[in-house]
């Protein structure tokens, strides 16, 4: 064999060997294990968050409104006057009719409310004076400060021979409750008590009104 032909055969063998080494085998083509691995694609650049996707700012808590001062009743803790709170006197105002001015004075250190009419009894006689006129409601009741006085009028009647004379009266306060009170006594010499003729006015804050109602 000539040198030229020998060289051509060697060259062909080398080329065939090179192709075998570089190209995939049938086994490689069937399974992806030895195949070329695709290079990973670059991840897309994340889009800028939209306005709606931005984290919302936590709103500041609203300031609570300042509580308004409620209008409180200045008499909410002022209790009705009882005989334990006052001292009591009776003064003859009209001898002809045996009418008396009744007076109470707050002897305590706190104000109290003077409610309704005084409850007046006559010595050892049964019954009591009837109420004369209408008393103000509890909202308009007298607030009796320490040392201050309230008045009522005990109206009598002419001696008609049907009644009796007494020398004292007893008085308790209207407290609109079942509070037990000790009756306060006052001297009333020669007070004539006639059936249905003796009446008493509601408490007022001045003596003149007490005797004219």
Percent of the chain with pLDDT over 70: 64
pLDDT value of residue 208: 92
Contact (Cβ atoms closer than 8 angstroms) between residue 196 and residue 173 = no
- Structure-token pair, residue 78: 């002022």
Percent of the chain with pLDDT over 90: 47
Nearest to 201 by CA among 96, 118, 95: 118
- Structure-token pair, residue 155: 């109206």
- Structure-token pair, residue 40: 């990973």
Q: What is the pLDDT of residues 160-187, one digit of tens each?
A: 888 999 999 999 999 999 889 999 999 9
Helix, strand or coil for residue 132?
strand
Contact (Cβ atoms closer than 8 angstroms) between residue 114 and residue 82 = no
Q: Which residue carries 């309704």 as its tokens?
A: 116
Nearest to 193 by CA among 116, 132, 128, 110: 128
């Amino acid at each position: 064999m000539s040198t030229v032909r020998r060289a051509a055969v060697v060259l062909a063998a080398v080329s065939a060997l090179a192709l075998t080494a570089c190209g995939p085998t049938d086994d490689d083509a069937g399974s992806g294990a030895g195949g070329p691995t695709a290079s990973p694609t670059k991840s897309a650049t994340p889009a800028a968050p939209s306005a709606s996707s931005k984290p919302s700012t936590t709103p500041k808590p609203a300031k609570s409104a300042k509580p308004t001062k409620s209008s409180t009743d200045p008499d909410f803790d002022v209790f009705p006057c009882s005989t334990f709170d006052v001292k009591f006197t009776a003064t003859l105002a009209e001898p002809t009719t045996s009418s008396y001015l009744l007076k109470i004075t707050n002897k305590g250190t706190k104000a109290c409310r003077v409610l309704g009419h005084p409850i007046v009894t006559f010595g050892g006689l049964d019954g009591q004076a009837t109420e004369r006129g209408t008393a103000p409601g509890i909202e308009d009741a007298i607030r009796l400060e320490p040392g201050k006085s309230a008045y009522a009028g005990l109206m009598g009647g002419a001696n008609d021979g049907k009644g009796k004379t007494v020398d004292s009266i007893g008085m308790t306060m209207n407290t609109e409750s079942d509070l037990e009170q000790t009756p306060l006594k006052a001297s009333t010499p020669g007070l004539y008590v006639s059936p249905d003729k003796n009446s008493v006015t509601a408490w007022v804050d001045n003596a003149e009104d007490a005797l004219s109602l």
